[in-house]
Structure 1
């Protein structure tokens, strides 16, 4: 297969690298990672991300190579000092991953656990922080836990942290571009996300929005490749990435952002995803398949559904894969997950439901 560009558009051509029709095309050209064209691509992405984030000019956008977890690790390792103490709100697999990152980097932290199917309870968080003097400097949480599909109450958590003088670092990997992430509270220090979720780009590029004053603080370096300050400083000094950027992935992200803006941004994307989500629920209900998470904490991104008692996930998945349809397993027995985020149409949902119905009857 060959990736190249034609008039700044990303092309994917299946087949061997020496496909003559592709190689000889006069319209194609390479885009080097350290060229003015690449600097312009990166600048457009950074500017557009900041615009659609709805954040103030106090925040800087830092691009990174890698998936959303890369951005979360960069955020935690770059913005928390050795003498800081973080409170990690654990409500699922991805908040547990934040705790794992803290363990690896030796970041002092304490866990506050919540029921995974219900998400973070603001009253429990407030009661915990009100219960006595504690030495926390930061609060870490995940906006949307995709393992079950649960939205955590973003603004109430930030408000409670503000009341207790805690800086907030949040994983918005699966929510950015669909759910609001802005906050008037100045304790919202940083949030991490990636190209391949609600923005509908490709896996391999991620980013962190961080308060500029926090980014510029002097801290002991823990990492080379994940150093947000070094990444940002280098780009603004030269317009280039410190290490080789994923050029094709960034071209895809630029195009995805252009389409995101042209289609109406966050409001229109939410409207589209929500309509698909409701249509999926209505179609699945005809087969006796229902969502298992309370409607108050669901979002039209990835949701968990019950399986008919006569079917297990392995059987359903194997049958659907034969028809080029992929659904996700759930950590809950007798359940599976379906996403309505992405370039999905009602006809795709019809195909999915019809194939599930066929499998059940088979």
Structure 2
């Protein structure tokens, strides 16, 4: 059994005690190729982001960096620009042949809410070594908006795999030839390249930019906030925009992406030499993404873009990132979008689910 582990295997891992939780895992946490992770009851405000490092525990490092503790049980605000560490309700006791990778959920990334998973002995963010046994923690840094959180909220997710799951370029070309992965020519080099759409049909609106001074967002409130209170519209008449250093943008891919049921994918940032910006804050694409979208043409990828260092001209059709495809160990019994209340199937340019749809 080689590849990303599907929902039915995750259920078996929960039963066998390889995935542990208190309180018990809610079936709604189980996605086609990942498990949602829940915040615990305490947040630690820390002086700086950190990794535990080889042979050290997160708890020991918290003793070094903790500033104060926040009780989340009645809800609490995590403030923009601050760094927090929250013990998660889930922990692991993995076999030696299973590793894991974590990532922010789509709605988390679209709020510019930097959320990464750290572990005891961990030397990388979001990467859990094979055979890891121990607790999980979320490092949370709100970048654009302060947020109200409560125990049990699901900001990040974890994917498990055995063996070498990533498809090489030749295999990816063969998959695309059999089942198109994008609705146009496929640019395949270290994964499937995707570009930015700055010429949306019938509109000059091409994206949104986060406003610098806004109110708090309660992450439990869905469709509750007016986008205009938190976002500026970004328009383009000529298929280009200038990214401002430090600003956060929501844009959309030109390609409609398709993830066949027997594969999963992860969004990776494009090479830094292309430009001083990052397109990678929420990165998992589940099996079935774009598979049963309207017209069967796939779903656009929403891009969470932050510019660094210097203003940068971004032009229509410019390659900005890539999708790394992985094979599933077996097809999930439940696919993205079909009966599991997936929020972003068939999407175009779209803010997180917390905002009202534009009129």
Question: Shorter chain as normaliser: what TM range?
Answer: under 0.3
TM-score (norm 1): 0.25
Choose between structure 1 and 2: higher strand proportion: 2
Choose between structure 1 and 2: higher helix proportion: 1
TM-score (norm 2): 0.25
Larger radius of gyration: 1
